[in-house]
Amino acid sequence: MNKILPFMILLGIMISGAVYAQTLSPEADELLYQKILNFKNGSAQPLSLSGEEPQIVKCGTPYIISLTNQVRYASKRTQDAWLALLTARFDAEAPDTFGSSDGHYLIHYAAEGVHAVRIDDEFGVDPISGVPEYVESVAAIYDSVWEYEINYLGYKEPPADSFYESGGDERFDVYLADLGTIDQDFLNAYGVTFPDVLTGPNNQWATAYQLLDNDYEDYAIYEDKPLEIIRVTAAHEFFHVIQFGYDYFEYEDMGTVNDYYDDRHHWLEMTAVWMEEQVFDGVNDYYYYLPYYFPLIHRSLQTNNPGIYQYGAVIWPLYLSQKWGDNIIRRIWEKCEEVPDPNAFQSAIPEAIDEYSNSTYTFEKALSEFYIWAYFTGDRVRPDFGFDEAENWAQVPNQVVYGNDTVDYMLRYDSYPFEFAQASYQFLPDHLGGFYIRLSGFGQLDSNLHMDFWGLNSKYGNTITWNNRIIAWNPHIASQNVYIDPTIYPDSFSTTIGEEILNSYDEVILVLSPFTNLSVNRPLLNRLTFTLNVADTSVPVTEYMISDPYPNPCVLSADEDRQIFVKVFQPEPQNIKMQIFNLAGERIYAADFETSNTVERIVWNGKNESGETVASGLYIMYISAGDIDRITKIAVIE
């Protein structure tokens, strides 16, 4: 085969047109050219006229893809410099090689110099092979990644690069070098995958090679567990190689506008992080990125700005695989391969959901359920509901720091009626983003709440499907199930939240997940607006009534403050008295409650008057309100 042809194909990647294609300005082209020339000595040249550098955290692959795209709009001199850089690879920095036992990988490394791999008390030199144990560990980890991703999960083998000179043999090339010395932009990266040469049907596949750090000594969180960072990096980066074997172009190339790039690699990155969790479930590196995702959950799943967001958005493929099994992610990638342009969110995901749910779920229904699950993480976890491991995660915050102020991130209302129509609210949802409106304080109401919602279309003229859901829960009763209204409410709706829900739950949440089928390479639809009116459609309380205590039986523990609740209905607010007796008739607790509402919720926390948790057993609760009394038995389990 002609060795020149593949590189001409690669050059074709760079110079082919894009939706917003235009030639780089001379200033931007010169900056890019100097960047490429200084690539291997750590020089940080700005990539835009604004001087802003991309923020690389965890994975440098999106940066390399965007850099390749930038070269597409550059001069021939700059394109030739980039082509020479890719062709040279990192053979000079990592001149020695070691083949993995299973024969799938060739590890390139240096035994001395600035790029020398780690050799210390923990990782020595194999006395038989003479190879650094660090290198042998990397090779063994990569073999295990191949075994899981290819042989177990069933992804097809990525295209080999043996058909051109710099590709070498059939084995996949992994280079170990000091990332920060190679380029300042890689200081915070775990690893980088370089797309190399287009191949396959319609030149849709790309061969690749990888660059990992030579020692990972500067990563504090892995100081005492150095192999774990290699494990998640190998699983993550090699899945990029597999992705390139399905559809290298499964990213949104936003092109260049005034020398600024906003390529979107959301599906590549969130599924690469997903793969880490599949291969090495116990490492949980993705936990570190969730605190950057949940405070931005209103952002579109199709955005990777800021870059950390797309790693935390791993919970979207985690939802899909937990709901329908691991194979649905592979099926989505197979469907991505069927379409030459990016289509994950446009058709691949909707079609896979329809297939794996036997047409019982649409993309929109799955999206609304996903954002319901996303609410119940961290301190809000409910037993046997939502995500696995969610008790270890961050959560959607109630408030965030915005500028110099602490502001409400989720809208919350506890007095009625109210109206929301604030188009200037800073956290309004994007297309494919999530949004929560929390209603509480139902004790002031006599019966129902009436809700009127009107979702507005985008200013760009796109028709938005709002996917409104209503759920209810009790934050203080961890054992109580979450109520989910099965109705997916349309863009504009009116509904009444009745007494049964308001009497049983302390918080009702309206969950929004606006959706529209955007074409690729288009700006996202930010800050979608809506109006909401909630009215108290109450019926006056005309007689005294005391509800059954809830929960009964009640499970108490030293580390969880479980409580027993009783609702009291009164035509006129009067003080309420509660007394708790043991079966011997001894009073162990008493409390008086001043009331101002006709419906009051009173609480016993399972403790005696000394503040000690009571022992397991039966107790008598005596409630006095107005001219009625109620005596009932309560079972307490400590």
Q: Give tens-digit pLDDT for 358-381.
A: 999 999 999 999 999 999 999 999
Domain finish residue from 290, 305, 338: 290
SS3 346: helix
Please name the residues in contact with 486: beta carbons below 8 A apart, sequence gap of 6 or more.
none
Task: Determine, yes or no, domain membership for 433.
Answer: yes
SS3 28: helix
- pLDDT surpassing 50 at residue 12: no
The pLDDT of residue 573 is: 84
Task: Determine, yes or no, domain membership for 48.
Answer: no
Task: Determine, yes or no, domain membership for 533.
Answer: yes
Q: Does 208 share its domain with 243? A: yes
**Cα-flanking dihedrals φ and ψ of residue 562, to 5°?**
-80, 145
Written as six digits, the tokens of 252 are: 């949104």
- Identity of the amino acid at 64: I
Sheet holding 617-625: strands in order across?
A: 554-555, 628-637, 617-625, 576-582, 587-593
Task: Between 530 and 128, name the one with better pLDDT.
Answer: 128
* Rg, C-alpha atoms of the chain: 30
The pLDDT of residue 509 is: 97
What's the pLDDT tens digit per position in 109-154?
Answer: 999 999 999 999 999 999 999 999 999 999 999 999 999 999 999 9
Task: Between 441 and 277, name the one with better pLDDT.
Answer: 277
> If pLDDT is split at 50, 70 and 90, which confidence band does 288 have?
very high
The pLDDT of residue 357 is: 98
The lowest-confidence range among 139-143, 474-478, 620-624 is 474-478
Q: Does 572 share its domain with 471? A: no
Which CATH number does the domain housing residue 438 bear? 2.60.120.1090
The pLDDT of residue 637 is: 85
Task: Determine, yes or no, domain membership for 476.
Answer: yes
Q: Does 585 share its domain with 604? A: yes
Q: Does 256 share its domain with 118? A: yes
The pLDDT of residue 7 is: 42
What's the pLDDT tens digit per position in 183-206?
Answer: 888 888 999 999 999 999 889 999
Please say whether the beta carbons of 431 and 516 come within 8 A.
Answer: yes
Question: How far, in Å, CA of 33 to CA of 43, rounded?
Answer: 12
> If pLDDT is split at 50, 70 and 90, which confidence band does 261 have?
low
- Identity of the amino acid at 507: E
Q: Does 572 share its domain with 529? A: no
The pLDDT of residue 183 is: 86
Written as six digits, the tokens of 21 are: 């294609």
- pLDDT surpassing 90 at residue 22: no
The pLDDT of residue 246 is: 97
The pLDDT of residue 149 is: 98
Q: Chain centroid to CA 222: how far?
A: 22
Q: Does 404 share its domain with 530? A: yes
The pLDDT of residue 59 is: 93
Please say whether the beta carbons of 589 and 580 come within 8 A.
Answer: yes
Question: Which range marks the domain in which residue 623 is found?
Answer: 545-637
SS3 280: coil
- pLDDT surpassing 90 at residue 331: yes
The total of other beta-carbon atoms located within 10 Å of residue 157's CB is 15
- pLDDT surpassing 60 at residue 85: yes
Task: Determine, yes or no, domain membership for 462.
Answer: yes
Q: Does 106 share its domain with 156? A: yes
Task: Determine, yes or no, domain membership for 12.
Answer: no
- pLDDT surpassing 60 at residue 5: no
The pLDDT of residue 11 is: 41
The pLDDT of residue 18 is: 38
Question: How far, in Å, CA of 195 to CA of 204, rounded?
Answer: 12
The pLDDT of residue 361 is: 97
Task: Between 571 and 242, name the one with better pLDDT.
Answer: 242
Q: Does 275 share its domain with 248? A: yes
Q: Does 272 share its domain with 246? A: yes
The pLDDT of residue 554 is: 82
Q: Mean pLDDT, to the nearest integer, of 536-555?
A: 76
**Cα-flanking dihedrals φ and ψ of residue 605, to 5°?**
-90, 15
The lowest-confidence range among 257-266, 408-417, 586-595 is 257-266
Q: Does 117 share its domain with 241? A: yes
Task: Determine, yes or no, domain membership for 509.
Answer: yes
Please name the residues in contact with 112: beta carbons below 8 A apart, sequence gap of 6 or more.
none
Q: Does 280 share its domain with 429? A: no
Question: How far, in Å, CA of 112 to CA of 116, rounded?
Answer: 4
Domain finish residue from 231, 257, 290: 290
Q: Does 97 share its domain with 207? A: yes
- pLDDT surpassing 50 at residue 6: no
Closest Cα to residue 71, out of 256, 196, 304?
256
SS3 82: helix
The pLDDT of residue 49 is: 36
- Identity of the amino acid at 378: G
- pLDDT surpassing 90 at residue 295: yes
Torsion of the alpha carbons at 158, 353, 264 and 371, rounded to the nearest 10: -130
Q: What is the DSSP string of 496-545?
A: EE-HHHHHH-SEEEEEE--B--PPTTS-------EEEEEEEE-----S-E
The pLDDT of residue 48 is: 42
Give the chain's domain count: 3
Domain finish residue from 517, 537, 557: 537
> If pLDDT is split at 50, 70 and 90, which confidence band does 8 have?
very low
The pLDDT of residue 19 is: 37
The lowest-confidence range among 120-124, 338-342, 487-491, 568-572 is 568-572
Q: Mean pLDDT, to the nearest integer, of 10-36?
A: 65
The total of other beta-carbon atoms located within 10 Å of residue 50's CB is 10
Task: Determine, yes or no, domain membership for 576.
Answer: yes
Burial letters for 517-529: b for 16+ Cβ neighbours within 10 Å, e otherwise?
A: ebebbeebbbbbb
The pLDDT of residue 446 is: 66
Which CATH number does the domain housing residue 577 bear? 2.60.40.4070
Please write down the long-range contacts of 617-621, taking CB distance under 8 Å and 24 or more positions apart: 617/582, 617/583, 618/583, 619/580, 619/581, 619/582, 619/583, 619/588, 620/580, 620/581, 620/582, 620/583, 621/549, 621/564, 621/566, 621/578, 621/579, 621/580
The lowest-confidence range among 131-145, 264-278, 595-609 is 595-609
Q: Mean pLDDT, to the nearest integer, of 614-633?
A: 91
Question: In whole numbers, what is the pLDDT of the chain averaged over residues?
Answer: 87
Question: How far, in Å, CA of 313 to CA of 292, rounded?
Answer: 9
The pLDDT of residue 3 is: 38
